[in-house]
Structure 1
Amino acid sequence: MARWEPGARERLVVAAVDLFTEQGYDATTVAQIAERAGVTKSTFFRYFPDKRDLLVAGQETLRQLLAEGIAEAPEDASPLDAVAAGLTRASTAMGSMNRELGPRLKAAVAASTELQQRDALKSVSLAAAMATALLARGVPDAVAALAGELGVLAFKRGYAEWSESDRDGADELAPYALAALDELRAATASLG
């Protein structure tokens, strides 16, 4: 097996998503994922403690980028404008691999209760990161929590639309996430 080839982590994620989609999460083993990725089981465990963690690959980077974007937003930015800065910053980490995996990952998550739970925990974690960054800017707790939740919802909606859109375009994720945030901002005004 080609353990020395670069990109083992990415190959493991792609292999796992493909296998989860083809045969289901429960029927997929770590050995199968490693074999499909062209690495050994020990290489798998160097990157991931178990197969559940493949779903949240890159989550810490995403959390950090969201928080950095919020922290670096202009001082006079509203909470949602700061979230928009976080979404823009986090979108820079999303490339063509993320875009292509989106629909397959969505299908794999939809077919597995365990992956749905893991995805929900990921959302909570991202919302908490944004809320914490907003709190550091002096935003009141309830507003920070709500803005963080809206940020996660905007990211997920934007990502879904981006990953399912025409792949021939060279467009980035950020416009999709920001458009989703604008829709949510408008929707909150109608809540009364």
Structure 2
Amino acid sequence: MHEGRRAGRPRSASREMLEEAAVELFLEQGYADTSVADITRRAGVSRATFFNYIPAKSDLLWTSVDDALAALAADLAPADDRVPGRDVGAPAGEGAVGEACAALVRTAEALEPGTVVLAFGNAEPMGVAEELEESAARRQRRAAALLGGFLRRRGVTELEAEVLGAALAGAFLAALRSWSRAPVPRPPLTEVLHRALTALGAA
């Protein structure tokens, strides 16, 4: 009887190894001069394994945030099911912004610091400043689409939903930047996010 094939590394362990290897290399030789091959060699995994877990080199900086945005999408979806249960006569969209803010706070509570904190704190030594801003803009657009879509489904007008979704997403990314760059010990991300939402008048 043949022995069963050994199980591979757990997904989380392999991804963490890639993240650690990437951070080390970005600090040692800079982001631009670090290839995927360099990262996989340092991590001791194959190129196929890399792309099985990470879509692109730049995404290594954002794994925890991408996980958080996936959780935000899941968190907002059940709230849509409550639309038919609104109080009779309640204005369309009433309470929707509050629900969106609450979902963002839950997202912030669950967000692991991850590589993005190291990247924002060491952007110049790593040579990732430009890439960080481009990548942040993509995440902000994704968050805006999630939030705007939720607000529209809750009865907010198209224009207002687009504006509010963009504003809330901007507050979330601004809070993440500020929190990542804060000296240790950092305040909770939720505290920084609350200040950002208060600045919008949304909290």
**Common topology (TM > 0.5):** yes
Q: How far apart, CA to CA, are the structure 1 residues paired with 2:115 and 2:13?
A: 14
The answer to whether the Cα contact below 8 Å between 1:13 and 1:54 also exists between their aligned partners in 2 is: yes
User: How far 1:99 moved relative to its partner?
Assistant: 6.9
- Could you list the runs of 5+ residues in structure 2 that have no partner in the other structure? 1-7, 87-93
Query: 2:129 aligned to 91, 102, 110, which one?
Result: 110
Q: How far apart, CA to CA, are the structure 1 residues paired with 2:26 and 2:118?
A: 12
Find out whether 1:182 has 2:187 as its counterpart.
no
Paired residues, number: 180
Return the TM-score normalized by structure 2. Answer: 0.71
Moved more, 154-163 or 98-107: 98-107
Q: How far apart, CA to CA, are the structure 2 residues paired with 1:166 and 1:52?
A: 24
Q: Assess, with a 3 A threshold, how the Cα gap between structure 1 residues 128 and 9 changes in structure 2: closer, same or farther.
A: same
Classify the secondary structure of the residue corresponding to 2:191.
Answer: helix
Q: Assess, with a 3 A threshold, how the Cα gap between structure 1 residues 68 and 23 changes in structure 2: closer, same or farther.
A: same
Q: How far apart, CA to CA, are the structure 2 residues paired with 1:135 and 1:21?
A: 43
Find out whether 1:8 has 2:8 as its counterpart.
no
Query: 1:86 aligned to 92, 103, 110, which one?
Result: 103
Find out whether 1:132 has 2:128 as its counterpart.
no
Report the residue type matching 1:94 in the other structure. Answer: L
Q: Deviations over 1:35-88 (max 9, x none)?
A: 333433232122123323334435553334334545549964252x22311211
1:23 is matched with 29
Return the TM-score normalized by structure 1. Answer: 0.74
Classify the secondary structure of the residue corresponding to 2:63.
Answer: coil
Report the residue type matching 1:182 in the other structure. Answer: T
Q: How far apart, CA to CA, are the structure 1 residues paired with 2:22 and 2:158?
A: 38
Q: Assess, with a 3 A threshold, how the Cα gap between structure 1 residues 94 and 60 changes in structure 2: closer, same or farther.
A: closer
Q: Assess, with a 3 A threshold, how the Cα gap between structure 1 residues 52 and 164 changes in structure 2: closer, same or farther.
A: closer
Q: Assess, with a 3 A threshold, how the Cα gap between structure 1 residues 9 and 143 changes in structure 2: closer, same or farther.
A: same
Q: CA RMSD in A?
A: 3.1
- Could you list the runs of 5+ residues in structure 1 that have no partner in the other structure? 187-192
Find out whether 1:163 has 2:169 as its counterpart.
no
Tell me which structure has the larger Cα radius of gyration: 2
